[in-house]
Structure 1
Amino acid sequence: MTSSSAAAELNVAFNDVNIASKKLVLFDFDGTITTHDTLAEFMIYYHGKLKYLSGLALLSPVLAMYVTKTIPNWKAKEYFLKWYLKGEDIIRFNEKCMEFTMKKIDSLIRPQALEAIKRYKSEGATVAVVSASAENWVKPWCDKHGLICLGTKLEVKNNKITGNLTGKNCYGAEKVCRIKERFTLTEYNEVIAYGDTSGDKEMLALAHKQFYKPFRD
C-alpha cells in the first residue's frame, strides 16, 4: 500500500468516525435546565415582587382564560408582556437581562442539567436550548456556556418594546419549526431532546432519544 493510499484510508476512517458521532442535543430551558420559570423570575428581578404580584392580580382574567384554553398560549403571553414591558427602552432592558444572567440565573440551574450539557459539549455534540422564554435573557446564559439559543423574540419599535412577539411563540410545534430552520437534521446521526411539559412534546417526538423531566429530584 502506498503512503498516499494509506493516508486516504485513514482520512475516510476519520470522517466515518466524525459522521458516526455527529450528535444534536436539544434542551428546553424553563423547568428542564432551571428549577423555576425564568419569565416570572425575570419580571420579579426587573420590576420587583410587589409590582409583579399586582400585575398577576390585574391579569387574573387573562390567566383564567389561558388555563381554560379560551385563548392560546401566545395571546396570553402578549397580554402579560404588554402589561409588564410595553414602552420599556430596549437598551436598558437588555442591560437588565445581562444583569439577570450574571446575578440570578445560575442559582436557578439544576446541577445535573448543567453536568449533562458539559458532558455533551466535551463529546463534541451540538447543543441548543429551545425556549419559549425571550432570547434576551436566555441567550446571554447560552453564550456563556457555548450553546445555541432558539427562543421567543420580542418586537421592538423605535427602540421600545411593544409587548408583541416577532414571529411565533417558541412553544409546542413552533419549537420544531425553529429547530428545522436552524439545523439540517439529516446531517446528524443522533438527535436527543430534553423537556418537561406538554409544550415540549413535539420537540421530544422529533428526537431519536427523549428525556422527560430527567433532572427532577
Structure 2
Amino acid sequence: MKKLYLFDFDGTLTYQDTMFLFLKYYNPEKYFWSFMKHIPVFILVKLKLMDAELAKKSFIASILKGEREIKINRKVISFFEEFYPQIIRESALNFLETIDRNHTTCYLVTASLDIWVKPFAKKMGMILLSTEAKFIDGVYTGDFNTKNNNGEEKVKRIKAQISNEKFDKIIAFGDTSGDKPMLSFAHEGHFQFFN
C-alpha cells in the first residue's frame, strides 16, 4: 500500500511557532523593537482587516532584509542544533518513528520560510513544501519567491509536487484553519492529532 503523509509544521509537529522563535534567536534586540512596531499590524491581521501574507513579509523583512545568505544559514544551523528535538512534540516524534518509509512519502507542508525549516525537514526525512525566501546575489531581499504556503495554496503546491503520482492513501495532519483545505484534500485528515 502506497501512502502519502502530509504534515503541517508549526503547532502541529512543534510546540510553538518557529517564525517568532527563529527571528528572536537571529537578532533578539532587533526582534524586540520590530515586534513592538508590528503589534498594530498583528491586531489588524487577527481582525481580518489586513492580509496575513503582507504582515508576515513585513515582519520577516524588518529583521532579515539585507542579510547575507551565508550568515543566515550559519545561524539556521545553530538554531536547529539548539532546538531540535526539544520543540518537536514527543507524540509526533514517536509517530514518525512508526512510519514504514519503504512504502511512504512524507511532505512537510508549511507556511514558514524554507530558510529555517529546511534542516528540520531533512532530519525528519521529509520533502519540504514551504514559503520560499527570495535571495538575489546571496542577499535576502525581504520578499518571497512563492505565495505564502497556507490554506488553498498548500493543496496547490501538493498537487503540483505529486503531479500524476497515485497513492492508495493520503493522510494529513494540521492544527489551524490554514490547514483545513489540506485536511479535506486527504483521504484521512487529522486535526490537532499530536496535541
What is the rounded CA distance, in whole Å, between the counterparts of 1:100 and 1:126 in structure 2? 26
Displacement of 1:134 in angstroms is 0.9
CA contact (8 A) 2:68 2:140 kept: yes
Q: Does 1:84 align with 2:63?
A: yes
Q: TM-score, normalised by structure 1?
A: 0.85
Deviations 1:80-123 (A, max 9, x none): 11111110111110121122112213210001111212212446
Q: CA RMSD in A?
A: 1.4
| Unpaired stretches in structure 2, ≥5 consecutive residues | none
Q: Output one character per residue of 1:18-72: Cα deviation in whole Å (capped at 9) or x when no partner.
A: xxx1000000000000000000110111112x43222111112211221121221
Letter of the 2:79 partner, please give it: F
Among the aligned pairs, what percent are the same residue?
38
Deviation at 1:160, TM superposition (A): 1.1
The correspondence of residues 57-206 of structure 1 with structure 2, limited to 5 A, is 57-122=36-101, 124-184=103-163, 187-206=166-185
Query: Residue 155 of structure 1 aligns to which amino acid in structure 2?
Result: K
Aligned partners of 1:186, 1:141: CA distance in 2, in Å? 25
Name 1:43's counterpart in structure 2: 23
Contact 1:66/1:73 (<8 A) preserved = yes
| C-alpha distance 171-149 of structure 1, shift in aligned 2 (>3 A) | same
Distance, in Å, in 2 between the alignment partners of 1:122 and 1:153 is 26
* Corresponding residue for residue 26 of structure 1: 6
8 Å contact kept, 1:62–1:79? no
Partner of 1:14: none
* Larger Rg, first or second structure (1 or 2): 1
- Taking the aligned partners of 2:98 and 2:105, their CA distance within structure 1 comes to 11
* Greater helix proportion: 1
In the alignment, residue 97 of structure 1 is paired with which amino acid? V
Indicate the residue corresponding to 2:187 in structure 1: 208
The answer to whether the 8 Å contact 1:113/1:215 transfers is yes
- CA distance in 2: counterparts of 1:47 and 1:185, whole angstroms: 43
Q: Is the 8 A contact 2:155 2:185 kept in 1?
A: yes
